[in-house]
Amino acid sequence: MEIASEDLLAETEPPKILPRILTRFDMVALYFAIIFGSYGAGQLAASGWAGIPMLFLALVTFLLPCGLAAYELGTLFPSEGGVYVWAHKAFGPLQGFIAGWLSWMPIFLLLPLDATIIVSYLQYALGQSWSLLAQVALQVVVVWVLLSIAVLRLRVSQIMINVMFFGAILTAVVAVIAGFVHIPAATPVTNEIFSFDLGKYGFLYSAAVLWLLGVEIPFNMSAEFGNHRRTGKTMLLWGTLALFAGYIMGIVGILLTTPVAQINQTTGVAQAVATLSPLLGIIVAIIIALSVFAQSASTMNAYSRLPFIGGIEKKLPQGMARVSEKTKSPWPAMLLQAIGASVVILVFSTLAQLVVIYNLYLAALVAVWCASLFYIYFGLLRVRITHKALYEKKGGEVWRIPGGNFGLWLCCGVGVVFNALAIYYVFATPWVEGISKRSWDMWLAFISVFIVVAGFIAYHIGRRRAPTGF
């Protein structure tokens, strides 16, 4: 198997094109923005107090191993493109492309999802219930407004992300305060809060994994921040603490103020705060809408670096490698994401069982996204062997998982096992009513296989068009 040891264009070209302006706090806010979603607290709370132990279990067995492995690879190969470069260095160009492809696919759900959340919170804040046509039209508008912000200088969108980092945390704090003053508790605490029974709550574990996905995505922008060891440590430590605190406060606030059967999985946080003050609930809804907008800008930026690198590496049309002379943003890659997201929104709007199809696509992307993470674990094990000289050359610049070989294998072993369990539990139980188990499995398998096959086709088309030496 061909293993790349020479420098890739993804390693040498982006530093010449993109400005290195992201600070350590920028990366904490970016990490938080990419992963956190207040509506995730609503979904987890809708299953009762079991959402808290399942979130904690997902944090320890899923996010932590992935974060540690990505941190080591990100300091060993501190280049734009993240998992694409890591898998390429470990397994060669084909697997590098597929890893990057699988990591990129979620953007076509995340942007429509965020647009849906923004519109939902706007309806809540305004006390409106718009027609499906109006909601769809506004969702498409949101995506294109997002594009217009994202293509500006990175510092512009980053300032917005930094400000709304505090806004998102504030909404969670207000929600938990509303919960503590709500007496008696709308949903009394039960023994479920101590349950780690995956046999019973496996579906909830997969849902918790969904709201923790993305720890590796900030490394897509590695050419845009410096001192990767120090910045990565700050980002992972403080970003994860903020992430976990935000979710816990949101879940607790929702459950203490709202009976489980009445929890709205989308606007649950604002619904919880409204029990304290209806006006405060409206204000929180507006802040959440603005926070999600800022987070979507970070998502569009971070994910655009994958097709941007694909263009540089000549594995996607070279137009993807273009950047604006004025703003230094890869606008063709962002434009492609906005077009794809708009198509997804329009397709979903034509389906009779919109909720069922949307949950199917969401669950399939959990499976596909988790599949890309296997490249991180197995890639790390491989580069520890194949790139020993690089480790020695870089010395203290590279952070290693502590505990020697035992720590390495423990981290990767736990990561692989629970990553596989997350995929298994996606298939184990339908996430929504209105579809049989058989149909759920068939659709999940079809969507997942389609995404993977499309990746192989895209790779071979790019290879035929590429110049000699590809």
**How far apart are the C-alpha atoms of 364 and 61, rounded to whole Å?**
21
Q: What is the dihedral of CA 44, 49, 54, 59, to 10 degrees?
A: 80
> How much is the pLDDT for 388?
92
Interval 277-296: pLDDT, tens: 999 999 999 999 999 999 89
The domain segmentation of the chain, as residue ranges, is 9-464
Q: Are 40 and 291 in contact (CB under 8 A)?
A: no
CB atoms within 10 A of CB 404: 9
Within 8 A by CB and 6+ apart from 74, the residues are 82, 216, 219, 222, 228, 232
Determine the pLDDT at residue 354. 64
Tally of residues, the chain: 470
Among 253, 261, 298, 296, which residue's Cα sits nearest to residue 41? 253
Q: What is the pLDDT of residue 258?
A: 95
Cis peptide before 184 (omega within 30 of 0): yes
Q: What 8-state DSSP symbol labels residue 60?
A: I
pLDDT < 70 stretches in the chain: 1-6, 351-354, 358, 463-470
Q: What is the pLDDT of residue 4?
A: 44
Helix (H, G, I), strand (E, B) or coil at 464: helix
* Distance (Å, whole) CA 106 – CA 348: 16
Mark 51-70 as b/e (b = at least 16 C-beta within 10 Å).
Answer: bbbbbebbbebbbbbbbbbb
> Could you write out the DSSP letters of every residue in 140-163?
HHHHHHHHHHHTS-HHHHHHHHHH
Residues 225, 14 contacting (CB under 8 angstroms):
no
Return the CATH class of domain 9-464: mainly alpha
